[in-house]
Structure 1
Amino acid sequence: MSEYWSQRFRQEGMIWGSEPSPTALLARDTFRQYQLKSVLVPGAGYGRNTKVFSEEFQTYGIELSQIALEMAVEWDPMSYYIAGSALYCKLDRQVDAIYCYDVLHLFLEEDRRRLVANCLEQLRPGGLLFFTSFSDEDLNYGCGRMIEPDTYEYKEGKYAHFFSEIGLREHFAETEVLETGTQLETLRSPQGVTHTYILRYILARKSTL
């Protein structure tokens, strides 16, 4: 996976443009409301979304691609970046909040569980999680070869899991779910090409026990 993303970032640069996801703005406002101080962004890419948080929170980004990390340091030098996999990477301290944009659906079930579990380890008791992922309401759901239930190779060599409301909540069964919803997301490349899809988001709180 590291080579795939490095090749894409090397060839396409800021693949999804420079504007943050609307969900990053929603998460920022929520974290602000709860007066949180620190945020972790697993799968930080080139810093498109970390920049939203680093302006007012202590922000950490985890990223597998070295090419993306080099871009991120230039785009958002206020965040602290860590090279590694979001499945295994550990911080030396727990954070108040985690914002994870469109990473969870990239994995098969075992690794999806591992990602959520690892994120919970990095989060202090009572901290907040805000995750986004592909929705089963998106037009690509059911397209291509099924690899696992609700997981499809919707493009050659590229698969994703498409979450139902129940399926997304089930992945966060060990947390207190505060809110779920759907969002129409539009990505714009530097070349002006747009792609619109439907994602789901979930806001949850880690148990204090």
Structure 2
Amino acid sequence: MSQYWDGRFAREGMIWGSEPSPSAEQARKLFLAEGVKSVLVPGAGYGRNTKVFSAGFTAYGVEMSAEALELAAEWDPETVFIAGSALEVQLNTQVDAVYCYDVLHLFMEAQRRQLVAACLDQLRPGGLLYFTSFSDEDPNNGTGNQLEPGTYEYKEGKYAHFFSEADLRDHFAGTEILETGSFTERLHSSQGGAHEYILRYIIARTLS
């Protein structure tokens, strides 16, 4: 997977532009209201969303693509970026909140569970989680070869898991789920194109 993303970042640079996801702003407001001081962003890419958090929190970004990390160091120098896999614990301290944008659906089930577990291990008791992922309501759901239940190779060489609400809640069993919902995200690429995706989000709290 790192080869794929290195290639894309090398060719396209800031693939999805500089504007953060509206969900990052929603998460920022929630975190401020909850007194959060530190935020972890797994799969941080080039820092499109980390910049929302580094302006007011101690922000950490985990990213495996060396090309993305070079871009991130210039775009968001206030965030502490760590080269490594989001599937593994990368911090030697616990944070108050995790914001994870469109990373969970990139993996098969065993690795999805591993990602959630790694995030929980880096989160203090009572800490907050805000995750977004592809929804089963997205038109791409069911397209291409089925690799696992709900997981499809919807483009050649590219697969994703499309979450139902029950499936997403199941991935966060053992936490206090505060809110779930769905929204349409419109991404503008650095090449001038635009794509729409239907996403689900989940807000949860670790048990004290």
TM over 0.5: yes
Query: Match for 1:142: what amino acid?
Result: G
Q: Which runs of 5+ in 1 are unaligned?
A: none
1:5-33 deviation digits (Å, cap 9, x = unpaired): 00000001111111000100010010011
Q: Distance in 1 between matches of 2:134 and 2:191?
A: 24
**Structure-to-structure mapping, 1:110-189, within 5 angstroms:** 110-189=110-189
Between the aligned partners of 1:89 and 1:47, the Cα distance in structure 2 is 19
Q: In 2, Cα distance between the equivalents of 1:147 and 1:158?
A: 11
Gaps of 5+ in 2: none
2:6 aligns to what?
A: 6
TM-superposed deviation, 1:190: 2.0
- Alignment of 1:52 with 2:52, yes or no, is yes
Amino acid at match of 2:180: T
Residue pair 2:12, 2:191 contacting (<8 A) in 1 also:
no
**Matched residues in 2 for 1:103 and 1:32: separation?**
23
* 2:168 alignment partner, SS class: helix
Q: For residues 150-170 of structure 1, what are the alpha-carbon distances to aligned partners after superposition, in whole Å with 9 as ceiling and x for unaligned?
A: 000000010000000000000
CA distance in 2, matches of 1:105, 1:189: 20
| Residue identity opposite 2:148 in structure 1 | E
Partner of 1:27: 27
CA contact (8 A) 1:95 1:123 kept: yes
User: Deviations for 1:158-188, whole angstroms, at most 9, x for unmatched residues?
Assistant: 0000000000000000100000010100000
What is the aligned residue count?
208
Superposition TM-score, scaled by structure 1 size: 0.99
Deviation >6 Å, runs of 4+:
none
Q: Is the 8 A contact 1:62 1:89 kept in 2?
A: no
| 1:82 equivalenced with 2:99 (yes/no) | no
Post-superposition offset of 1:189: 1.1
Matched, 1:41 2:41: yes
TM-score calculated relative to the size of structure 2:
0.99
Distance across 1 between alignment mates of 2:136 and 2:170: 15
Report the Cα offset of residue 191 of structure 1: 2.7
Write the distance in 2 (CA, Å) between the matches of 1:124 and 1:8: 34
1:35 positional shift = 1.0
